[in-house]
Amino acid sequence: MATLLKCYKPLLPFQRPKMHIAAAAVNSFRYYSRSRLRARCLSTIGNSKSTVDIKVVNSEGTETVLRKQQLWLHNTMSKQKELFIPKVPGKVGMYVCGVTAYDLSHIGHARVYVSFDVLYRYLNYLGYEVKYVRNFTDVDDKIIARANELGEDPIILSRRFCEEFHQDMAYLHCLPPSVEPRVSDHMPQIINMIQQILDNGCAYRINGDVYFSVDKFPEYGTLSGRKLEDNRAGERVAVDTRKKHPADFALWKTAKAGEPFWESPWGPGRPGWHIECSAMSAAYLGYTFDIHGGGMDLVFPHHENEIAQSCAACRESNITYWIHNGFVNIDSQKMSKSLGNFFTIRQVIDFYHPLALRLFLIGTHYRSPINYTIVQIESASDRLFYIYQALYDCQILSTQHDEASLKDSIPAETANCINKFQDEVLSSISDDLHTPVALAAMSDPLKLINDLLHTRKGKKQALRMESIAALENAIRNVLAILGLVPASYAEALNELREKALKRAKLTDDQVQQKIVERDTARKNKDYDRSDVIRKDLAAVGIALMDSPEGTTWRPAFPLALEEEQVTAP
């Protein structure tokens, strides 16, 4: 598309790493209508209030103004949306609490890391230099308990599940963070921070244990809004009557028989859960940085305790934006192993394409509760197939045309559609990452693509190929921001078909045989039999598509599920 792409002058390169789609997508386009040049830059679409000017003064006193697209984020600390302005102009420090690696990750984990992956991608897209730190907890009571069950060394077991987590993140197209520290590698930093807290009079020792004294931190409870007298004794630690206050929490635990331990000034032991993140975030981002994130369940006690101990170690400690994603429910019930409705990422992607799971997760605003049901994941899978099929058809048609014959222009209707699409995407994602609106905005350009590809009127439109290429490019760039660009449309479509066959408990040969049976029935004018075959396949999510070239099939929302929804009270 060399000739056509002369119209597009990207500000950021569109890169394709081996395993992940790059966070930075093309963000500046120029479109030509028949009558006049239309120039639109995705990073400055909208009125003058859509950008924010950031003044930068270098060491020589020279002032430079950086103009950035406004981004509003909901801050758990202030309980409202705030304009994002980083501490250091043009740079962002972001820390997201990682998993405790003792088992396969579940779809609640998937929601956390997909949500913050979208934020990471969008910050990169807006031109920020982002240092993204996401930790592994590889020293913890749960890890030790699981290791004892399996007869493994806790550190080795945790390392194995860290690698499983990496594989899950690759499946979901989550970009790797800039730094991924592990607790076991940061004992000196953890011990030093605990010593600072002790030196500052905010902790106390009891027989080799070290506890944080919440009474020494008057601001305790600011993030969660909880009053100190209402607080429980913290999580992941047993109630200890030796503590001065029930809400005091462990910074260091004395060694127990059969458990891993490290030497410290207070004797052999291991760190408490909360101190780990404070020490590792400070090690890589300092005591003041821009964004700290995680699931809503971490607001209290984990993040509340992080704030207390970080400020106790360094009074200048300050994190500007605290961001939390909502819970995942299963069929409107809280996901829980005890209820038997607990799903790992692997269990879901065994039957659905990983990017269908990602599409489902970003189809609800990240702060709202999300309800995982078969209906919802089937809908996401069906939508993903529709998007990829349209874009694949664009690519196939493009290969059949001579690039040199393409014009450097597109019709006004196409330009207007693309510009409206980009406006909606930018405004929605800039408004606290409102991804559902961005996804919905794809409907019009996809409809226009299908009109150009398949309708009689569309096939006769002037500059048809130029319009198709421009529309495909615009949608692909937005998919890149959302982390939904596959390595290959053809490969993704095949994977979606394979998953649909698995859910239907059929093979492709069996479907082809049904197609032959149906063709025979139609030739024999046995239309009742023909309809039964079509309906039986549709019931399990296999839709037959008739054309002059013959009958093919595609995955579809199962008719049986539609009928269940209709009959449900």
DSSP bridge pairs for 542: 555
In which element (H, E) is residue 547 found? Answer: strand 542-547
What pLDDT score was predicted for residue 55?
Answer: 63
What pLDDT score was predicted for residue 232?
Answer: 53
What pLDDT score was predicted for residue 30?
Answer: 29
Side chain identity, residue 300: F
Whole-prediction pTM value?
A: 0.88
Neighbours of 195 (CB within 10 A): 18
Nearest to 432 by CA among 523, 519, 502, 368: 368
In which element (H, E) is residue 389 found? Answer: helix 374-399
What pLDDT score was predicted for residue 318?
Answer: 97
Q: Is the peptide bond before 301 cis (omega within 30 degrees of 0)?
A: yes
State the fold for domain 79-203+212-233+276-339: Rossmann fold (3.40.50)
**For residue 451, what are its two tokens?**
């009109």
HEC-encoded secondary structure of 300-367 = HHHHHHHHHHHHHHCCCCEEEEEEEECCEEECCEECCCCCCCCCEHHHHHCCCCHHHHHHHHHCCCCC
Side chain identity, residue 66: L
> Mean pLDDT for each consecutive 10-residue tract of the chain (569 residues)?
30 30 30 29 40 65 71 98 96 98 96 98 97 97 95 96 98 98 97 98 97 96 84 52 90 94 97 97 98 97 97 97 96 78 94 98 98 97 98 93 77 96 96 98 98 95 94 97 98 98 98 97 96 97 94 96 70
CB neighbour list of residue 181: distance below 8 Å, 6 or more residues apart? 133, 135, 136, 280, 283, 284
- Residue 131 in contact with residue 94, Cβ under 8 Å? yes
DSSP bridge pairs for 55: 65
